[in-house]
Structure 1
Amino acid sequence: MRLPRSEFTSRPWRARALVQDFRVEDVWRLPTPGGPDELDRLVRQFANGSEGHLTSRTSRLLFAVRWRLGRILGWDRPGSGVGGRVQSLRERLPQDLRDGERGPDLRTLPMASVFQTHEEWVAEMANATVHGVMHIGWVPDGNGGHHGVMTVLVKPNGRLGSLYMALIKPFRHLGVYRALVREIGREWEAGRAGEAGTGRR
């Protein structure tokens, strides 16, 4: 389910101090019901996920086109990413977050972890078009349980970045994110079923 941007901006996330010059692009409720201490399990699911995250043909096609265009137009060339064109958000971290758990990088997308706490996880990526951030928060559902909320924030790189974000907006909303959220829910339920089968909780 897509959520209003206030679902991110109204909560006292530690990440908000790091991304004041980014704009909130999308916020999605994740179908990952769980207890108060299960963010780490969701983070590991993201980090260890396979290309199964992109189950729909539309999503796979869009990603394939994007990587192809990136190679042709040089969007992903060395030096255009984090540590090259832009500094890592880790440079903005206060000392307690810098000394705390960093969290895992993603295998299937070029995203590096920035920090992880009990309630939130932040990962980032950059290329010639944007500096992007994914924030996963773990929030109460009002009925005694918790679930994940995924927020995507972006900082476009000039006119090129703004044009790129405008062009891909309908594809993100109609194809990529909806398929991704569904697959996250499937993997979450499959993980729970596997734990139940082995007697783990």
Structure 2
Amino acid sequence: MRLPRSAHAERPWRIHEFTPDFDIEDVWSYRTPGAGPDDFPVMLDALRAVYDPTREPAAVRLLFALRWKLGVLFGWDTPSAGLERVGSLRERLPRDLAETAERATPAADPFSEVYLLDDEAARELANKTVHTIMHLGWVPTGNGEYELRLAALVKPNGLFGRLYMTLIAPFRYWIVYPALTRRWERAWREREHLLATERPHA
């Protein structure tokens, strides 16, 4: 479910301390029925286990295939256009956060770990269009349970980056986020099976 930007801005996340130059682009919540305060690491492990671009809906696969093709054609995703251009957010971290990303399990997706805490995590991706932060937070729902929140923080690369973000907005809201919601909520529901298959057999 899409939430107002204030749902992220008003919570005391550590991410606020070092991203004043980023805009809150999107905020979404994901239902995790029965989740408790200590289940954030379980949810993150389930998300890693369910990640498989080849099993996305056809519309999502087509969109990303087109995006990567354009990236190759116009050089949007070269190292010099990415974190080499903007500098990693990890360079801004306070001392107490600087080593937490080392505890994170590496993921297969293109994002890089920034930091990992018991109730929030941040990952980043940069290219010629934008520097974006994917912030994940674990939030009480008021009924004794918790849910996952995603906030996309962005720093567009000039006018080109702002136009790009405007152009892709309908595709994010109509195709990408609905598919992400189905996948992530399924990851929670099927977490025991997913994580069991990920563990090495004795």
State TM-score, norm by structure 2: 0.90
Alignment of 1:97 with 2:94, yes or no, is no
Aligned letter for 1:138? W
Q: Is the 8 A contact 1:26 1:153 kept in 2?
A: yes
Shift of 1:195: 7.3
Alignment of 1:174-193 (within 5 A): 174-192=174-192
CA distance in 2, matches of 1:185, 1:173: 17
Alignment of 1:117-196 (within 5 A): 117-192=117-192
Alignment of 1:57 with 2:58, yes or no, is yes
CA distance in 1, matches of 2:6, 2:26: 11
Shift of 1:87: 1.0
Percent identical pairs in the alignment equals 45
Q: Is the 8 A contact 1:111 1:123 kept in 2?
A: yes
Q: Which residue of 1 aligns with 2:18?
A: 18
Instruction: Give the unaligned 5+ runs of structure 2.
Output: 197-202
Shift of 1:101: 4.6
CA deviations 1:111-137 (Å, max 9, x no partner) are 001001111000000001100000000
The 10-residue stretch of structure 1 (174-183 or 54-63) with the greater mean CA deviation from structure 2: 54-63
Over 3 Å counting, the alpha-carbon distance change for 1:104 and 1:53 in structure 2 is farther
Q: Which residue of 2 aligns with 1:29?
A: 29
RMSD between superposed Cα atoms in Å: 1.8
Shift of 1:46: 2.9
Shift of 1:194: 6.2
Q: Is the 8 A contact 2:30 2:147 kept in 1?
A: yes
Shift of 1:50: 2.8
CA distance in 1, matches of 2:169, 2:94: 33
Over 3 Å counting, the alpha-carbon distance change for 1:165 and 1:74 in structure 2 is same
Over 3 Å counting, the alpha-carbon distance change for 1:124 and 1:170 in structure 2 is same
Shift of 1:188: 1.4
SS in 2 for 1:95: coil
Shift of 1:178: 1.0
The 10-residue stretch of structure 1 (39-48 or 110-119) with the greater mean CA deviation from structure 2: 39-48
CA distance in 2, matches of 1:173, 1:74: 26
CA deviations 1:127-185 (Å, max 9, x no partner) are 01100000000010100011110111110001111111011000000000111111111
User: What is the number of residues matched between the two proteins?
Assistant: 194
Q: Is the 8 A contact 1:79 1:85 kept in 2?
A: yes
Shift of 1:52: 5.2
Over 3 Å counting, the alpha-carbon distance change for 1:195 and 1:121 in structure 2 is closer
